[in-house]
Amino acid sequence: MVVLAFSLAACSSGAKDDSSKKEDTKTSTSSSKEKVLNYYMDVVSQISDKNADFSAFQQAQSADPKPTDAELSELAKKGTVSAQAVSDMLKDEKVPDLGKSTDKFKTAISDLSAAYGQEAEALKAAKPDTAAADEALQKAADEIAKILKDNGLAGSDILTDTM
């Protein structure tokens, strides 16, 4: 009878430990998810603050009717400054501790910075050809979308979110 009492007590405390561990994991996952979302939203906000002229150039590329060459050239000049400002800001970005996503975000932010730098360089040309830079930008955006999905968040497109 005494042995049974000790066995039940041991099982009972073990059950509490298991549910406690499950709750800690759930809280940790929720906290990590929230940190990732908050960081993503912060980056979106920072890019949006510097991105207006670059976005205007991007949108003008597919506008109907298309702007004149002179208008596009002026938009490209402004877009160069805007894209370079975003690139520089992202270069200096310090990624906080985001658990398992920290290193992935560091890589994605670095790639995004490089892509914006490529955009700035491409826009300096007399006839800007941003195809390669656009591809690099989309690749970095896809990396970020995957990080969000891996954290149980809706995959988002940072390029759309910052326009």
Given this model, what pLDDT does residue 29 score?
A: 52
In a domain, 129, yes or no: yes
In a domain, 11, yes or no: no
DSSP 29-54: HHHHHHHHHHHHHHHHHHHHHH-HHH
In order of 16, 24, 25, 27, 132, the CA distances from 21 in angstroms are 8, 5, 6, 10, 48
> Does residue 135 sit in helix, strand or coil?
helix
> Which of the two residues, 35 and 13, has the higher pLDDT score?
35
Domain that includes residue 138, residue range:
32-161
Whole-angstrom distance, CA of residue 41 vs CA of residue 62: 27
pLDDT for residue 18 is more than 90: no
Q: Is residue 115 within 8 Å of 139, Cβ to Cβ?
A: yes
Given this model, what pLDDT does residue 52 score?
A: 92
The band of 154, judged by pLDDT with boundaries at 50, 70 and 90, is: confident
The stretch 157-163 carries a mean pLDDT of 86
The band of 5, judged by pLDDT with boundaries at 50, 70 and 90, is: very low
Q: Is residue 43 within 8 Å of 109, Cβ to Cβ?
A: yes
pLDDT for residue 151 is more than 70: yes
Query: Cα 156 from chain centroid?
Result: 8
Nearest to 141 by CA among 103, 114, 102, 122: 114
Structure-block tokens of residue 67: 């702007």
| pLDDT tens, residue by residue, 109-120 | 999 999 999 999
> Which of the two residues, 155 and 51, has the higher pLDDT score?
51
The band of 105, judged by pLDDT with boundaries at 50, 70 and 90, is: very high
Total domains in the fold of the chain:
1
pLDDT for residue 121 is more than 90: yes
